[in-house]
């Protein structure tokens, strides 16, 4: 008898940013970590976006200690494949040629979700 594979989660940059700024969002993210830590992964793209958003050395050290190092120690950082990087765009894989008002940045959500079987909450 085989069991279904465990669902894997890759969190979006916006979830981390909200948690850094809002105590209620932080509490919600901490609850998620508590329940789903064994199934959580960090996208290298999200890590890069978070690194780019640091403004001080103290912010950088906190990010490294509280987020990046935690995922790195567990070998849970995933990166987009070259194939996926070449198909940045809409969900059909067609490149996005124009940017709609209020649309997500082009790099958001491009990591390998299908082969990893990950869900972006």
- Specify whether the CB–CB gap between 85 and 112 falls below 8 A: no
Q: What is the pTM (predicted TM-score) of this model?
A: 0.66
- E-state strands within the chain: 8-10, 40-43, 77-78, 118-119
Q: How confident is the model over 36-86, as pLDDT tens digits?
A: 999 999 999 999 999 999 999 999 999 999 999 999 999 999 987 766 666
């Amino acid at each position: 008898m085989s069991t279904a594979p465990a669902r894997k989660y890759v969190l979006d940059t916006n979830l981390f940013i909200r948690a850094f700024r809002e105590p209620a969002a932080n509490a919600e993210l901490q609850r998620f970590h508590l329940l789903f830590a064994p199934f959580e992964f960090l996208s290298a793209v999200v890590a890069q976006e978070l690194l780019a958003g640091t403004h001080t050395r103290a912010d950088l050290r906190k990010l490294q200690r509280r987020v990046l190092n935690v995922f790195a120690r567990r070998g849970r950082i995933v990166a987009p494949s070259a194939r996926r990087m070449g198909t940045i765009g809409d969900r059909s894989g067609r490149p996005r040629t124009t940017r709609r008002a209020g649309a997500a940045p082009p790099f958001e959500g491009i990591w390998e979700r299908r082969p990893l079987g990950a869900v972006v909450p």
